[in-house]
Structure formats: structure tokens, C-alpha cells
Structure 1
Amino acid sequence: MQRLTIILFVLFGLAASLLPVVSTAQQQQPQDLQRIVALVNDEVISVRDLIERTRVIMVTGNLPDTPEVRRAVRDQAMRSMIDERLEMQEAKKRGISVPQADVDSAVARLEEQNHIPAGRFEDFTARAGIDASAIIDQIRTELTWVRMVRSRLSATTVVTDEEIDEAIAKLKASVGQTEDLLSEILIPVDSPDQEEPQRQTALKIIEQLHKGASFPALARQFSRGTTAAAGGDMGWVTRGILPEEVETVVSKMQKGELSPPIRTIGGYQIILLRERRRIALPGVEDTKVTLKQILLPLAANASPSDIQTTVGLANTVRTGIRSCDDVEPLAAQLKAPGSGSLGTLRLGDLPENFQQAISPLKVNETSQPVVAARAVHLFTLCGKTEPNAFDRNQIRQRLMVRKAEQLSQRYLQDLRRDATIEFR
């Protein structure tokens, strides 16, 4: 939903490279570490909090320890912590929390994903110079926020059958088109004074990505898009789904390419094109078609002009077929042997040229003439049963997730707008 859950991309050997970052905290006097840097509705963010979160971002993103990078990371760390304070304050107000067992399960998944021995998460983070409690607090906040958004969503939102039908129709219409496997980082712009600073942040992120920084890790920590928790993974996206300004850039990109910052309604978006492919309708060969045909025979040694004459006759006959009921009477008039009902067939079992002629037909429509070895065929579609290529429950869940993401964004924007935030 939001920017987490954090997946560490740090090996034990990387800890040595973090010494400059760790020393930043070590150089501070104890009284300095307790100094308040911000108040979020009277809740404190301290220097220690800011340093610890900065360290987490530097480590998980494998970022170089330079003053410029540290400055950009501190800005993002501050924004993340403000959002998390607002989320947990709202959860407390509404009496929403998560069981410790859920947090433990999330930590166990991190251990598994990063090949950390079970139960050794704190040892691992200590070797990397990170306070495990800082990461666990982030996980708890993420789980709590997800539960709160879902609670609000279930009380106010439904996915209708009409919405599912519309989604399926769009999926079917996209067959043969191009789709892209994308990842994103969204750097938000909430007010005019943030315009240039956030653009510069986006440029710095792109610079670090070109130098080998982890896109998923930076997405989790920097992005405010709804895909941040998944490392910016947008999945496969068909043309026409993205905003026009993003679509224009993506359409010109090549596999593996990183976009420049794209100004959208929410801020600056960075896109990674991971893969591109043509869309195929799943299971189309399993479609069952009920057919009737007019078969106009050709001689074994039919000349091109004979074939053309028979095709012309077929086109004339085709104009007289308005429904399946017209096929048998016309066949009788033509005295065309082999014409009439073909029964119900599996589309994939027919010759490829027959499939191409029949696939686009609607019920009671007749195909263009199809020339075969010994005949010219006209196929009339009398019925069609498509396989269950689209799981309606799965589509319902996807639509609900999309609505949850939209609600999450609006919810957090409202909390920011109504908050009292004081920087010191």
C-alpha cells in the first residue's frame, strides 16, 4: 500500500562500507541525539530518529556516502517519518492495531527473502549497522495502515458486476496490442514551493540508479506511489492505462531503459521499462464454436480464374445470409454437397486459416470466403462458448486493490492537510 515493507539488499560484507554513515551518529553528543527536529501533532521526531532512518535508506539503497546524497536522503527520511507518525496517530484514534504475530510473520518473510537464518534478523541488522527496532517499527506501521485502509474500504466500497464486465471487455480488446512490464518511483509535489526541490530529488535518484543503486530499494524508501511497498513494481501495463504524459514517454522507451522525471498530477514519476510483449488472449484455442457452412467445390486442377469465379459466387451468396437459419435453404438452392451444420467444434482443432476467418465473427455473422484445396468455404457462426480465461473473483480483487490504493493516497493527503507539523 505505502512505501514498505523493507527488503534488505545488504550482505554482511557491506557493513564495512557503512562506517561513515554509522559514524555520523557516533559523532553526535547524547544530548544532541535527543534534540527535537520536528513535531507532528505534538509527537516528537528526534535527531536520533532522523539519523537512524537515514542509515536504513542508505543501506537498503546501497547509496554512496556523500554529503549530497546524505542531504537528499535526510529530506526523504523526514518525510517518511512524518507520514508514519500521521498514520499511527490515525490508527490509534480509530482503535486499529495489528497482532505481534503479524509483525513476527513479516520479519520471518524478510529473513527468508534475504537468506538470513531464522530468528537471526536482529543479529543481521546489527552487523549492517542498523537498529532492528527501526525497521520493525516501519513494518508495524505498514501493516497497521493497510489494515486501517482496508477497514475503511470494506465499509464504503464495492466492486460491481458492471465494473468487472468492463474490465474483462478491456482485457479482450487489448489482445494483439503491446503491454509493458514497468516499475515506478513517484516523488510527490504537494505544493508549488516543492516543485524544484522534488525535481532535483528525482534527478539525484536517477543518477544513483544509473550508478547501480537498487531500483526496488529506492522505490520502497523514496516513492510515494501506491506500488512502493512492492519495490515500485507496476506489473504488466497495457497501452491506454497510463496518464497521457507517461504514456508518451514509455512508448518511446526501449527494454531496460530508465525514463527522465515525468511531471504528472501527483509529482515527478520515474519509470523503468523492464520488458515488453504482445498480448495474447489466454485459452482462445479452447473456444467452442457452433458452425454452419456453405461449401462451393473446386476442381482438383482449378485455374486461378476458376477459383476467382467461385470466390465471387461465394461473396454473392454471403450477402444473402443474415442468420444461421438462412444457410440450409441457400445450400439447397445451390445444390452444394457438404454444406449445412458442422456442429460444435473446438476452435484450436480447425486449420489455421479457418481459425482466422472464424475468430472475429459474432453470432449469426458469416466469414469472408476461405479458399481451401478443393473448395471455397463460407462459415456462419451460430454459437460461441469462450473458456473461462478471466477469473471474475481475481479481477474483483484487483479492482478492490486499485480502489484501496486510491483511497490510501487520498487518506494520507487528508491527514497531511489537517496536521500541525512544526520543524525545529
Structure 2
Amino acid sequence: MFRLIALILIIAGLGGAVAQAQDLQRIVALVNDEVISLRDINERARIIMATTRLSDTPEIRRAVRDQALRSLVDERLQMQEAKRRGLTVNQQEVDSAIAMVERQMNIPAGRFEEFAERSGIDPSAIINQIRTELTWSRMVRARLNATTTITEQEIDEAIAKLKSNAGQTEDLISEILVPVDNPDQEEPQRQTALRIIEQIRNGAPFQALARQFSRGTTAANGGEVGWVQRGTLPDEVENVVAKMNKGDVSEPIRTVGGYQIILLRDRQRIALPGAEDSKVTLKQVLVPLPQNASNADIQAAVAKAQQARNAIRSCEDVEAAAEQAQLQGAGSLGTLRLGDMPEAFRRAVEPLNVNESSQPVATQRAIHVFTLCAKEEASGINRNQVRQNIMVRRAELLAQRYIRELRRDATIEFR
């Protein structure tokens, strides 16, 4: 009798295991007749939860499963296109990408598979995702190279813009792009973006979330865009970034491709590559300040310095302008390396053209006006780097258009 009960229980257990296995093999979607199973979605969801350290709530789990399905559909399309074009990546490229993931997630070097297994993830599933990201990037670059030519005139214009922006600020940003491909996705994707922002602000790592949720070309690099200057981002993004402080994460920004999330990592004054090695020949007008100068003393000195500045049309006018303003401290400073000057003086002098004079610059002991007599530019701008920067932004737009084309031409069936 007991043997019969035990046998019944074993058979029931086996039946449950078989049913569970069959359920995992259930087809959730077909992408041009290629299967995405429930097992695939569960595996990707585990990867997302483990690598992003998202809060494990029913709402987050639903969002993660939705994201897993969208990502897997896109990746099937991307790899099908890569196969059609005969594009692959080698193991060395995959190993380099894994090393980057280890650095981003503070995993000891060479311990990636151990981390995956400890997190309950099949290492091959992450490696397949990485291989797809690399293949897609290569495919976008190949299409970009075949269809886009960057002229020397465009590079000249970009360099001219770099020079005109010298002395202004530039921002170090990372991004997450949550795509909106049709009107039905508008609100669900906005809610997805809001949940991502909430998780980031609660301590989830931006880089990991970018790798799993962003559909931009920067996703493989953890969303890192790099240093960008004012006027190089879309207006809707630029307006938000200008009001952010270092460390801020933006609210969802609606752009052409969807909702963009921006992390402002740093901000600095723009200095042209090699600009500090430029040499400047200067004259100055100097208005001394009394010890423990009052605000009235400083304002009077600034007014005198401004009077002299208004009379200067070229370097030859400096001494006469100072004499006319009844100032004794005027004359040549000789030729100086820009990088050797105090920060406040360098900011005042760097944007000047020859024979232009700076606005009055206050120090503890005096008010200074500098006139630029000559400038020897350092040849520090790398034209190839400028070309590369232009290509990166174009690749972002092309990638969004490319995946939309693949979706449009595909047969995608959800079950």
C-alpha cells in the first residue's frame, strides 16, 4: 500500500516536472519564424534583475519581462540581418566586452562566469547578448560607412565651432533611450522611463540599466556618450541638460526616437586640445586696489579700467589709453604660455582675437585689462577625432532608423 502511494507521488511529481518543462518551451513570439520561448524571456529577465539590482516587486517584474521580450525581438532581427550580410564578431572582441562589463559592475577580472552562475544565470545567455550588441554595432558602422561621407568642410566647421566654444562649458553625459515605435507605446514607454529613473535615484547602477533597457547605440558602453558641447544635442535635450547639476538624472525627455534619460556626470570649461600650449603676447592696463578695498573702491577701479579699455583699438593704444585714464600701471607682459597663466587670466585671454581687450578682471590687489597683441596657436586639434565624433552622432540616428526598418519588414507574431 505504502509502495503504491509512493509510486503515485513520484509519478505525480514527474508529471509536474514535465508540465513545467513544456511550459518553459511554450512559444511566446515568432520573429520571421524564429522562436522566442518562455524560457528565453525568463533567462533574460534574470539577467536584467541580476545586473541592474532592481527592486524585486510585482510591478518591476512585469516591466522587466516586457523589456526582455522587446529586447529579444530586436536581437533576433539584428542577428538575422547580420547573418544575411555575413557579419560576425570574433572571440577577442567578445572577451574585451566581457572585461568592460566586469569593470562596470565591479566584478573581479576573469570572474564573470562565476558571477553569472552565482546569480542563477546561464553565462552563455549573457555572452549571446553581448555578441549581439557587438554585431549590431558593427552592422550599423558598416551601413554608415557605405552611405555617409564626412567632408573636410564639415570637419572644418566642427573645428571652428570648437574654437568658438572655447571658454564655455561642456557636459559629460550618459543616456538611456526608451524607444517609442508607434503611438500605442507612448504611455507604456513613458511609464517604463519613469520606473528606470526611480530605480536609478534609489541606487541602481545607471550603466547596467543602460545596457539592458536602452535601445541607443551607446547601450553596449553602458550609455556613455562622453563630453558634449552646447549646440551639439537636440534642442529638447539641450534645454534640460543646461538646467541640470552634476550628478542629476533627468526626467524623461521626449525626442524623435522615444524617451531619453540623461545622467550629467560632470561639467567643465571647454579648453581646446593643446590650447594651454598656445603662446600669447599681451599688454595690460592695471588699476591698483588699496589694502582692504571696499566695494566702492573696487567699483571705482573697475570703472577706470573700463574707461581705458573703451579707448583701446589695438595694442599700440594701450599706453595712451592708460595715460588718458590717468593710470600708471600699463605696459607689455611679453609672450606667455597660456597654460602658465592663472585660471582667471586665462579665461579672460583665451577667447580674444588679436587687438581685442578683455573685460576687467579683478584680483585681490588690482583690476586688470589684457590686450592680445599676438597669438601662436598650438596644433592640438585632432581632425580624426573630430571626424569620429561626427560619426558617432550620425550612427545613433542611423541605428534608430535601421531597427525601425527591420521591424517594419519583419513578420512578428505574439502568442
Same structural fold, with TM-score higher than 0.5 when normalized by the shorter chain: yes
| Of 413-422 and 160-169, the range deviating more from structure 2 | 160-169
CA contact (8 A) 1:62 1:213 kept: yes
CA distance in structure 2 between the partners assigned to 1:353 and 1:64 by the alignment: 47
Q: What letter matches 1:288 in structure 2?
A: K
Q: What letter matches 1:49 in structure 2?
A: D
CA distance in structure 1 between the partners assigned to 2:135 and 2:36 by the alignment: 20
In structure 2, the residue matched to 1:166 is 157
CA distance in structure 1 between the partners assigned to 2:228 and 2:370 by the alignment: 38
Q: 1:278 to 1:37 in 2, by over 3 A?
A: same
In structure 1, the residue matched to 2:300 is none
- How many residue pairs get aligned? The number is 380
The 5 A counterparts of 1:239-278 are 239-278=230-269
Structure 2 length-normalised TM: 0.75
SS of equivalent to 1:29:
helix
Q: What letter matches 2:44 in structure 1?
A: R
In structure 1, the residue matched to 2:171 is 180
In structure 1, the residue matched to 2:5 is none
Given the alignment of the two structures, is residue 417 of structure 1 paired with residue 408 of structure 2, yes or no? yes
TM-superposed deviation, 1:71: 0.7
Q: What letter matches 1:277 in structure 2?
A: Q
CA contact (8 A) 1:315 1:369 kept: no
SS of equivalent to 1:63:
coil
The 5 A counterparts of 1:15-26 are none
CA distance in structure 2 between the partners assigned to 1:369 and 1:66 by the alignment: 59
TM-superposed deviation, 1:124: 3.0
In structure 2, the residue matched to 1:223 is 214
Given the alignment of the two structures, is residue 155 of structure 1 paired with residue 146 of structure 2, yes or no? yes
CA distance in structure 1 between the partners assigned to 2:248 and 2:375 by the alignment: 42
CA contact (8 A) 1:116 1:124 kept: no
TM-superposed deviation, 1:342: 9.9
CA distance in structure 2 between the partners assigned to 1:262 and 1:353 by the alignment: 36
Once the two structures are superposed, residues 300-335 of structure 1 have per-residue CA deviations (whole angstroms, 9 ceiling, x without a partner) of xxxxxxxx999989977x66x6xx9x99xx9xxxxx
In structure 1, the residue matched to 2:193 is 202
TM-superposed deviation, 1:358: 6.2
In structure 2, the residue matched to 1:407 is 398
Once the two structures are superposed, residues 320-367 of structure 1 have per-residue CA deviations (whole angstroms, 9 ceiling, x without a partner) of x6xx9x99xx9xxxxxxxx99999664567899997886555356688
CA contact (8 A) 2:45 2:68 kept: yes
Q: What letter matches 1:274 in structure 2?
A: R
TM-superposed deviation, 1:105: 4.1
Q: 1:168 to 1:70 in 2, by over 3 A?
A: same
TM-superposed deviation, 1:174: 2.0
CA contact (8 A) 1:315 1:368 kept: no
In structure 2, the residue matched to 1:396 is 387
Q: 1:256 to 1:53 in 2, by over 3 A?
A: same
The 5 A counterparts of 1:136-147 are 136-147=127-138
Cα-Cα RMSD: 4.3
The 5 A counterparts of 1:297-336 are none
Higher relative contact order (CA 8 A, sep 6+): 1
CA distance in structure 2 between the partners assigned to 1:365 and 1:407 by the alignment: 43
Q: 1:214 to 1:351 in 2, by over 3 A?
A: closer
In structure 1, the residue matched to 2:23 is 32
TM-superposed deviation, 1:96: 1.2
Structure 1 length-normalised TM: 0.74
TM-superposed deviation, 1:205: 1.6
Q: 1:28 to 1:232 in 2, by over 3 A?
A: farther
CA distance in structure 1 between the partners assigned to 2:168 and 2:345 by the alignment: 22
In structure 2, the residue matched to 1:235 is 226
CA contact (8 A) 2:168 2:270 kept: yes
Once the two structures are superposed, residues 167-210 of structure 1 have per-residue CA deviations (whole angstroms, 9 ceiling, x without a partner) of 22222222232333322222111111111111111122222223
CA contact (8 A) 2:166 2:350 kept: no
CA contact (8 A) 2:284 2:332 kept: no
Once the two structures are superposed, residues 255-308 of structure 1 have per-residue CA deviations (whole angstroms, 9 ceiling, x without a partner) of 3332222222221222223333333445444323468x899xxxxxxxxxxxx9
CA distance in structure 2 between the partners assigned to 1:260 and 1:109 by the alignment: 28
Q: What letter matches 2:98 in structure 1?
A: V
CA contact (8 A) 2:166 2:351 kept: no
Q: 1:387 to 1:125 in 2, by over 3 A?
A: same
In structure 2, the residue matched to 1:103 is 94
